[in-house]
Amino acid sequence: MATRDDSLFLRALSGETLAKPPIWLMRQAGRFLPEYREVRARAGGFLDLCYNPDFAAEVTLQPIRRFGFDAAILFSDILVIPHALGQKLWFATGEGPRLEPVADAKRLGEIHEEIDQDVLAPVYETVRRVKAALPAQTGFIGFCGAPWTVATYMVAGRGTPDQGPAKEFFARDPALFGEMIDRLVIGSAAYLNAQIEAGVDVVQIFDSWAGSLGESDFERWCIAPTRRIVDAVRARHPGVKIIGFPRGAGRLIPAYIAGTGVDAVGLETEIDRSFVREQIQSLVPVQGHLDPHVLRAGGPELEREVEAIRAAFGAGPFVFNLGHGILPDTPIAHVERLVAAVRA
């Protein structure tokens, strides 16, 4: 019978170089799957899906059943942390997340100091159910958003092209912005620790907007808060691997690794491959970085890119993934071809 030692994903994250890299895809539980859309329609709203353990466990397992990926990622969202801090959150159909913006002392005073773990209890129940159902060799990933990325949504009340509102907030009042970041650090660490206690093997910290920060702001608002989360998780769970994904950080990634202490990093599509080999993969295992558009397009270019990525990173510890989340209209046949090519 297979055991956790057979997990290629955990072996790669522990620094082993494997002949065939393990593979999973960011946003693998999502709209490109008809079986996800079916459950999503039954659940009603997106948050009803996140907070219903039956539905959330089902959609977490769907991509594992269909593609046999080497890791499952918990179905939830990074914005459940502001929600558990008492910020109003809703998902407008076809428009993405909306929150009531928090951009001054009065509004910050209206949200909680600490997360309400009762709001998140269904997420931990989802973890327990998935863990019980998952094959032993399949890794199980929990996650949170990094404080900077989550703060960009909290301040603007929505996704923004340039993260301008959050940048202007920290430029105007760094101490007050720092208070918001402190709450996110403490809440996110408690959230990750509870996911680990419920059964995830690995956690990933998504900093989708890390690349929009200049060098000194990157140190202050990306590296330093992430380090505090890493320290708080290590203090309770020293054996659990932590993957950082500072998307768009490029040349600042070696400083991110040294400053945060993460065990592995996710790579955006745009990063320079020889830089990765020389300055990043020599430090920690890497995960990434196929362009989601190349996957959507399919054809011979997909096969060529898979080969190029395996040739670039296959000589060191490596987990195959995308450089960002899978696009909703990606054909299932292209994902099947990808998995076959990575395992060929």
Is the separation of the CB atoms in 20 and 14 below 8 Å? no
> Using the rule CB under 6 A, is 46 a contact of ligand CP3?
yes
> Using the rule CB under 6 A, is 45 a contact of ligand CP3?
no
Count the helix, strand and coil residues of the chain and give each as a percent rounded to the nearest 5: 55, 15, 35
Q: What is the DSSP string of 181-194?
A: HHHHHHHHHHHHHH
> Using the rule CB under 6 A, is 78 a contact of ligand CP3?
yes
Could you say which DSSP state residue 34 is in?
H
Active site residue 201: no
Q: What is the smallest separation between the CB atom of 202 and ligand CP3, expressed in angstroms?
A: 13
Query: E-strand spans in the chain?
Result: 71-73, 89-92, 96-99, 139-145, 202-207, 241-246, 264-266, 286-290, 318-322
C-alpha angle 201-206-208 in degrees, rounded to nearest 5? 160
Segment 325 to 344, residues that bind ligand CP3, using CB under 6 A: 325
Torsion angle defined by CA atoms of residues 71, 74, 78 and 84, in that order, rounded to the nearest 10 degrees: -150
Q: What is the smallest separation between the CB atom of 253 and ligand CP3, expressed in angstroms?
A: 17
Give the residues across from 183 on adjacent strands.
none
Closer CB to ligand CP3, 72 or 316, in the complex: 72
Q: What is the smallest separation between the CB atom of 298 and ligand CP3, expressed in angstroms?
A: 20
Q: What is the smallest separation between the CB atom of 201 and ligand CP3, expressed in angstroms?
A: 15
- Judged by CB under 6 A, which stretch of 13-21, 22-30, 293-301, 311-319 contacts ligand CP3? 22-30
Binds ligand CP3 (CB under 6 A): choice among 17, 18, 27, 312: 27
Closer CB to ligand CP3, 75 or 170, in the complex: 75
Cα separation, 23 vs 6, in Å, equals 14
Residue among 242, 274, 32, 19 at smallest CA distance from 143? 242
> Which of 48, 77, 182, 217 is an active site residue?
77
Active site residue 337: no
> Using the rule CB under 6 A, is 109 a contact of ligand CP3?
no
Active site residue 153: yes
Q: What is the smallest separation between the CB atom of 91 and ligand CP3, expressed in angstroms?
A: 6
- Judged by CB under 6 A, which stretch of 27-35, 101-109, 187-195, 261-269 contacts ligand CP3? 27-35
Contact pattern from residue 130 through residue 169 relative to ligand CP3, giving x for each residue in contact according to CB under 6 A and a dash for the rest: -------------x-x-------------x----------
> Which of 36, 124, 153, 191 is an active site residue?
153
Active site residue 31: yes
Pairing of strands 71-73, 96-99: unpaired
Is the separation of the CB atoms in 26 and 325 below 8 Å? yes
Distance of CA 311 to the CA centre of its chain: 25
Catalytic sites, residue numbers: 27, 31, 40, 77, 153
> Footprint of ligand CP3 on this chain (CB under 6 A)?
26-31, 40, 46, 73, 75, 77-79, 96-97, 143, 145, 159, 206, 208, 325
